[in-house]
Every structure is written in structure tokens, then in C-alpha cells.
Amino acid sequence: MFLVIIFSLSAFLAVAGALSVTFSKNLIHACVYLLFSLVGVAGLYLTLGAEFVAATQLVVYVGGVVVLLLFAIMLTGGTNLHHVTSRFGLESTPLMGNLRTYLMGVVTAVLLVVVLCNVLQGSMTGALVSENKFSSTVEQIGVKLLTDHILAFEISSVLLLGALVGAAIIARPHRSSESEN
């Protein structure tokens, strides 16, 4: 029963976040809604027993892509923030949300509290999640990566190193022929 509730809340969070991204006119709000949607997808992965994929979803997409989008929007001035003027004519901090934003935050907080309560209850009784009949995938993925698929693992590390070197070459300043003389 617990997994059905968590699955339903995660699915609602993912779908509601995706629809909010689609209909949002503010880029900052769209990034926050995307964050909610990606956290909902990670919750779906957890309920399906794919802990490694859920952790990867949180680290790569939530931790990387959304933060990168927010930094890009903030550094380029990609949105017009409406400043609120106080009684004394000074500009105060712009408003950062609306009813939908707060509603999504409440749903996320409730989902987080329910999951944490179940994890704490499971750790007190000795089992992480008593209803979960799936085995942990993290150990299986680690064994497969370092035994059967070691060549693909090493090739991907060389590919990532090449991407890093290419990014460094592209980012360095170009020397003109006039400055060399």
C-alpha cells in the first residue's frame, strides 16, 4: 500500500511539474517546475526498485542540469523580474512564486516526509522497505561494470576525458597573429 501511495504522489509530481513547465511564461518558474518534475521521476524510479537510476537522476539532472539552467538564465538576464516598490519608494526583493509554485513545494515536502518516515521506520525494524520485493541494483551494476563491461567503462572514461580537453581548448582565449609579432 505504501509503494502505491508513493508511486501515485511521484507520478502526480512528475506530470504536474511537466505541465507547469509547458504553460509557464516565466523562465525561472519553468526551471523550478522542471526541478519538481525531475524529482517526481526519481521517485518513480525508487518505487520501481532502481535505486541507482534514481540517484543518478537526482545527481545528474536535478543537481546539474537545473542548476546550470538557473545560472545561465540569471547570468544572461533571461527574464524580466518585476520589482515590488515599498512605501518608501525603495525596490524590495522581487516575488519568487505564485500559488502553483507553493502547491508543488507542499506536495514535494509531503512526499519527502512520507518517504523519510518509512525509511526511519524500516531502519528501526531492521529492513529498509518491508514491502519492496526487489533486490538492490547498485551492487549488481557495480559488479557488471567492473567485470563483464570493463571495456565499455574505460572507453566512456576516455570519451569524457576527450570532452573535458575539448571544452578547455574551446574556452581558452585565441591568440591573434598581430600579438605574436
Is residue 24 helix, strand or coil? coil
Domain that holds residue 58: 2-78+97-134
Residue 148 lies in a domain: no
Is residue 91 helix, strand or coil? strand
Is residue 95 helix, strand or coil? coil
The helix, strand and coil proportions of the chain, stated in percent and rounded to the nearest 5, come to 75, 0, 25
Q: What is the amino acid identity at position 130?
A: S
Number of domains in the chain: 1
Residue 64 lies in a domain: yes
The yes-or-no verdict on residue 159 having pLDDT over 90 is no
pTM: 0.51
Give the domain CATH number at 37: 1.20.120.1200
Average pLDDT of the residues in 141-163: 81
Residue 163 lies in a domain: no
| Sign (positive or negative) of CA dihedral 12, 14, 17, 21 | negative
Residue 155 lies in a domain: no
pLDDT in tens, 13-59: 999 999 998 888 888 888 888 889 999 999 999 888 888 888 888 88
Question: Residue 135 has what DSSP assignment?
Answer: P
